Amino acid sequence: MHLKTNMMLTIVAVALILGSVGDFLFSPEGPWNVSGSIWVALLSLFALFINRHGGRVWLRKLLTWSGIAFAVSLLLTIRDAEALIPLVLLVQVACASAVLMQANKKTLIAARVEEFLIALFALPVQMVTRFFRLIGDLPFFEMAHSPRLKGVLRGLLIVAPLLVVFTLLFSSADANFERYTLALGDLISVELPQHVLSIVLMSVFSAGLLLCTMPELSNQSGLQSRPLKNRMNFLRSLGDEEIAVIMGSLVILFLVFVLLQFGYLFGGRETIEQVDGLTLATYARRGFFELIAVSLLTLVVLLWMSSTQCNQRIFRPMAVVLVVCVLFIMASAAQRLYLYSETFGLTLSRVLAAAIMLWLAGNLVSFIATLLRSGGIGFAFGMFASGIATVILLGLANPAAIVTRVNLSKAITSSQEQSIDIRYLTRLGADAVPPLLERIHHLPSYQQFIVAYELITRYGGERIEDEKNDWRTWNASRSKAKALVAEHYNELVRLAEQIRFVPK
C-alpha cells in the first residue's frame, strides 16, 4: 500500500466518522433526502482533506467531481421522484469512476468508451481490495504494544465498574434519571447490533472510496485494458472485405426499414389508420422500445468498429449513412411516443424515454462529428459528460410536475372525464401537488374527490405532523406539498366529505 502509518490511521478514523454519521443520518426511508446530500458533502470534504498534499491540479480535479456528485445528490433533496434515484446513483458512481481513472493518470478526454466501462466495473473491486490492503498494512502488533494504548485500556478497566455503580445509585435517587437509563439500556440491547453492523459496512464503503481518490495508489489499480485487448485481438483487426460486408449489410437493412417507415412518419395519423389491421394505438405502442434498443445497439456496434484497425475510407462513409438512418428511426420512435402520449396521456416513463432518446441522438451526431474530425477522440468523454448533464437537467425540469400539468391541461381542454388516470397523478409524488391544487376546481366532481382524499392522506393529518420532527427525512418538495395541503386543508376536507372520504 506504501502509505505512512499516520495516513492509514487517519483514513481509518475518517472512515469510522463517515460510517457513524451515515448510521445517524440515514433513516429507514434511506438516504434519498437531505441526509444523503449531507453525507456526500462530508465525504467530499474528507477526500479533499486526505489529498491535501496531492497538489493543486489533483485537488482541482477532485473538487470538480466531488462538486458534481454533491450537486446531483441535491436533486433528491429538491425533488420527490423515485424514478430519479437510480439515475442519481448512476451519476455518482460515474463521478467516482472518473476520479479513479484520473488517479490512475488517465486523460478523460482521450479515453475510449471501453476504458470508462472498465473503470465503472473496477470501482467496487478496487474499493474492496484497497480496503483489505489497508487493513493488512496496519501495524497492529506495534499498536498493541503502545504505552498509550495500554494506558487507555487500563483506565477503561478501572473506570468501568465505577460508572456502573454511580449509574445505579443515581437511578435509585432520581426517577427521571432512571427512565433515561432504562431507555438507554433498551436501545443498547435491541438496536446496538444493527447500528454496529451499519457503521462497519458504511465505514468499509467510505474507506474504499477514500482510497480510490489517492493517486499514490494508482500503480495498484488494475485498470489497464491491455489484457482485455490481447484476449480480443481477433475482433481488433478487420479487413476491407469484412468491413464492407458488415457495414454494407447493416446499411441495406436500415435503408429498407427507413423506406417502409417513410410514409408513416410524414403521412400522419390518417395514413397510419388507412393500413389494414393497424390502429393508431397499435402503431404507437408496438416497437417503440425495440427502436430505442436498435439505436443503442447501433451506437455500440459503431464504437466497436471505430476502435478496430479497419480501413477508415470504407468505414466512415458507411457509418455516416448508418447514423442518418438511425436518426430517422429515432424520429419514428419519437413520433410513436408523441402519438401515444397524445392519445393516452403522458407518464413519467415516457418522459424518461424521451430524455434517453435525445441523449442518444445527440451522441450519434457527436460520434460522426468526432469520427470525421479526430478519429473519435473525445467522443467517450462527451458521452459521459452529456449523460451527467442529462440527469441534472431532467431533475431540474421536474418531470412529475410536467406530467401532471400536461395531463390536466389535456383533460380540461378536451372535456373528456376518462382521458386521464387521476389516481396516477396523485401518486407521482410531492412534485405533482402544486399543479393538482392549482387546477382541482377545473376537474369533474368525482376526480376532485379523489384528489382531495389522496392529498389529505399523503400530506396532511397527524402522521404528517409526526414526520416533521425528523429533520433527516426533510425534502424540499415534500415540505412544500405539506404546506400547500395545510393551507388548503379545510377546502380539501369539504371536497372529500361530500362522499365521506375524510381519512382518519
Give tens-digit pLDDT for 152-186. 777 777 777 777 777 877 777 777 777 777 777 76
pLDDT of residue 413: 81
Range name among 98-107, 261-270, 357-366 with the lowest pLDDT average: 261-270
Q: Where does the pLDDT of residue 267 fall: very low under 50, low under 70, confident under 90, or very high at 90 and above?
A: low
- Each residue's pLDDT tens digit, 26-57: 877 778 889 999 999 999 999 999 999 888 99
User: In angstroms, rounded to a whole number, what is the distance separating the alpha carbons of residues 332 and 484?
Assistant: 41
Residue 163's SS3 state is helix
Residue 439's SS3 state is coil
Answer whether residue 225 shows pLDDT above 60: no
Report DSSP letters for 356-396, one per residue: HHHHHHHHHHHHHHHHHHHTTTTHHHHHHHHHHHHHHHHHH
Answer whether residue 277 shows pLDDT above 80: no
Answer whether residue 462 shows pLDDT above 70: no
Residue 30's SS3 state is strand
Answer whether residue 88 shows pLDDT above 80: yes
Amino acid at site 153: L
Amino acid at site 117: L
pLDDT of residue 140: 65
pTM: 0.83
Amino acid at site 316: R
Taking residues 142-155, report their average pLDDT: 70
Answer whether residue 22 shows pLDDT above 70: yes
**3-state SS record for 251-307:** HHHHHHHHHHHHHHHHHHHHHHHHCCCCCHHHHHHCCHHHHHHHHHHHHHHHHHHHH
Q: Which of 443, 447, 440 is nearest to 491 (CA)?
A: 440
Grid cell, residue 158, equals: 478501572
Distance of CA 336 to the CA centre of its chain: 27
Q: Where does the pLDDT of residue 400 fall: very low under 50, low under 70, confident under 90, or very high at 90 and above?
A: very high
Average pLDDT, the chain: 83
Answer whether residue 428 shows pLDDT above 90: yes
Segment of 132-141, 213-222, 326-335, 382-391 carrying the highest mean pLDDT: 382-391
- Helices then strands, counting H and E runs in the chain, come out as 23, 0
Answer whether residue 472 shows pLDDT above 50: yes
User: In angstroms, rounded to a whole number, what is the distance separating the alpha carbons of residues 228 and 226?
Assistant: 5
Q: Which residue has the cell 473525445?
A: 378
Q: Where does the pLDDT of residue 234 fall: very low under 50, low under 70, confident under 90, or very high at 90 and above?
A: very low
pLDDT of residue 502: 47
Between these two residues, 156 and 122, which has the higher pLDDT value? Answer: 122
User: In angstroms, rounded to a whole number, what is the distance separating the alpha carbons of residues 143 and 433?
Assistant: 58
User: In angstroms, rounded to a whole number, what is the distance separating the alpha carbons of residues 120 and 223?
Assistant: 10
Q: Are 50 and 11 in contact (CB under 8 A)?
A: yes
Q: How many CB atoms lie within 10 A of CB 338?
A: 14
Between these two residues, 473 and 63, which has the higher pLDDT value? Answer: 63
**3-state SS record for 185-252:** HHHHHHHHHHHHHHHHHHHHHHHHHHHHCCHHHHHHCCCCCHHHHHHCHHHCCCCHHHHHHHHHHHHH
pLDDT of residue 119: 92
User: In angstroms, rounded to a whole number, what is the distance separating the alpha carbons of residues 127 and 136?
Assistant: 14
User: In angstroms, rounded to a whole number, what is the distance separating the alpha carbons of residues 180 and 170?
Assistant: 11
Q: Which of 59, 51, 55 is nearest to 209 (CA)?
A: 51
Taking residues 287-302, report their average pLDDT: 83
